[in-house]
Amino acid sequence: MTMRAPRGAARGCWLFTSACLIVACSHTQGPAAAAAPTTTAASDPVVAFETVRAVLQSPRCVNCHPTGDQPTQGDDSHLHQQFVQRGPEGRGATGLACATCHGKANPPDSYGEHMPPGVSTDWRLPPPEHKMVFAGLSSRALCLQIKDRKQNGGKDMAGLLHHIADDPLTRWGWSPGYGRKPVPVPHDEFVRAFNQWADAGAPCPPARVAQH
């Protein structure tokens, strides 16, 4: 014989279950919840580095970290016009410095598209002794490069964090001016992913096994 709970009891169970679900889905967590270990894929520092990679290999970053000594430009990363070159310090060749066209701020939107952007700390590429190429690298190669102090200009993790979080030139990628797409990942999410990766010891993705 099947026993049925009284209507009041069934309603009480339904309300209790709903309350549990609301608490479980809340963004506000108590100390016990915060201390619980995270087992989702998002807690994996190698997965977090993929967010970092997505930013570094976006056009806003790749254009100033090109494979050669000629920067690229535009959302399609085509070669910079006027045969612009890196130069001995990363600020342009003699007679054609980056500052010749790139001022201290983006021009007003009313100027329209294709106007040279600007930033308060001066436009520049990495110097030739550490070019920090981002384009075309695998996740592992990119990871190894950016934490190699011989290649990144002597920056430790704190120096790298300062560059990505506070340098106006880097932050420009999220406010690139009229007619340009910003970095596709929100800046706070990028910094959070970088910290998650760095705090775990900055592990790099494993090398891919060649397919035969």
Could you state, in order of their start, the residue ranges of all structural domains in the chain? 44-199
Least Cα distance to 63 among 180, 141, 159, 148 occurs for 180
More confident residue, 26 or 101: 101
Residue 207: pLDDT band (50, 70, 90) is confident
Q: Tens digit of pLDDT for each residue in 14-39?
A: 333 333 333 333 333 333 333 333 33
Q: What is the mean pLDDT of residues 46-72?
A: 96
Residues 157-168 as b or e (16 or more Cβ within 10 Å = b): eeebeeebeeee
Q: What is the pTM of this model?
A: 0.77
Q: Could you give the CA distance from residue 96 to residue 86 in angstroms, rounded to a whole number? A: 10
Q: Tens digit of pLDDT for each residue in 118-153?
A: 999 999 999 999 999 999 999 999 999 999 999 999
For tokens 């990505």, what's the residue? 164
Beta strands 72-73 and 96-97: pairing type? unpaired
Q: Could you give the CA distance from residue 53 to residue 190 in angstroms, rounded to a whole number? A: 10
Residue 12: pLDDT band (50, 70, 90) is very low
Decide if 153 contacts 92 (C-beta within 8 A): no
For tokens 């085509």, what's the residue? 78
Decide if 105 contacts 123 (C-beta within 8 A): no
